[in-house]
Amino acid sequence: MAHESLLTVSNVFKNFGDVIALDGVSLEINSGEIVGLVGSNGAGKTTLLRLMSGVYRPSRGSVTLADGNQVHNMRSTLGVVPESTGLYSRLTAWENIRYHSRLYGVADETSWKRTLKFAESLEMEENLSRYTRGFSRGMRQKTALLRALAHGPKVLLLDEPTAGLDITSARTVRSLVKQVRNEGGTVIYSTHQLYEAQQVCDRIIIIHNGVIKADGSPQELMSITECSSLEEAYVNLTQEKARMRFEDKKSDGTLGKLWNKLFKPKLPHHNELMGVDEDE
């Protein structure tokens, strides 16, 4: 069955000074699929996600939605879970979700219904009224997922969504991702775990040193490389020595602010009276 194109990356270059983070990347994201972005640290996965979320803009090329709009003008159609969840630790899980949804103009009742629906899948119903200060990493990640889904995005962007999670929490997150896909949603799933990508993704894009090396189903990637496993196929396609993670040279604080600018806006000026602070 043919899928509708939702997002197009056209001949995108992204430079940071003299470093070319992405080198002529082009791809289509279609509705109803889970797309895995697979690559080593420094491959360009997070840079590509930030471009697709509108946080970065290309040095050259374009990232557009199906209606032709530049993606940075239509952020409300996207749900994003960055690697750092960025929750307000003195707000409850639901208050974090509700605040984020209100920024998108979503009524509390609508947001609450969507939150309850997915909270059941994540076994988070009883934790929605708890303050996030004492949450484990897994609970924070689940809250961030609920926050990203509450406004009904067309595309869900996940940056290493199971990194640091225990086995049970990671399986729960993967199950939710499949649920979103099965209900007609679209997920872009960045990971460096090949086993996880093979379990979850319908399609895998291998990116290496800022260049897309392959794009297809796990079976197709194994077939074109004549390999018996996805790991062997990946090694075959990425024989060029991996560059160091170029972003490590930059201030983590600066990059963190860019990445979280959209997903963790400042609370109103009275937040000191509320005692609101950050958990990470």
For 251, residues 6+ apart whose C-beta sits below 8 A from its C-beta are none
Pairing status of strand 203-208 against strand 34-38: parallel
Domain assignment of residue 24, yes or no? yes
Domain assignment of residue 123, yes or no? yes
pLDDT digits (tens, 9 = 90+) for 182-219: 988 999 999 888 888 988 999 999 999 999 999 999 99
Domain assignment of residue 36, yes or no? yes
Widest CA span of the chain, in angstroms? Answer: 62
Domain assignment of residue 276, yes or no? no
Q: What is the span of the domain harbouring residue 195?
A: 5-262
pLDDT digits (tens, 9 = 90+) for 132-144: 998 998 899 999 9
- For residues 42 and 189, what is the distance between their CA atoms, to the nearest angstrom? 16
Per-block mean pLDDT, blocks of 10 residues, the chain (280 long): 80 92 94 93 89 91 87 80 87 96 92 94 93 91 94 90 86 91 92 88 94 94 92 89 56 49 51 42
Torsion angle of alpha carbons 242, 243, 244, 250, nearest 10°?
-140
Nearest to 127 by CA among 181, 159, 169, 166: 169
Entry pTM = 0.81
Q: What is the pLDDT of residue 272?
A: 38
Q: What is the pLDDT of residue 271?
A: 44
- For residues 204 and 214, what is the distance between their CA atoms, to the nearest angstrom? 8
> For the chain, how many structural domains are there in total?
1
Domain assignment of residue 32, yes or no? yes
Structure-token pair, residue 119: 């909270």
Nearest to 112 by CA among 130, 98, 132, 102: 98
CATH of the domain at 135: 3.40.50.300
Q: What is the pLDDT of residue 256?
A: 52
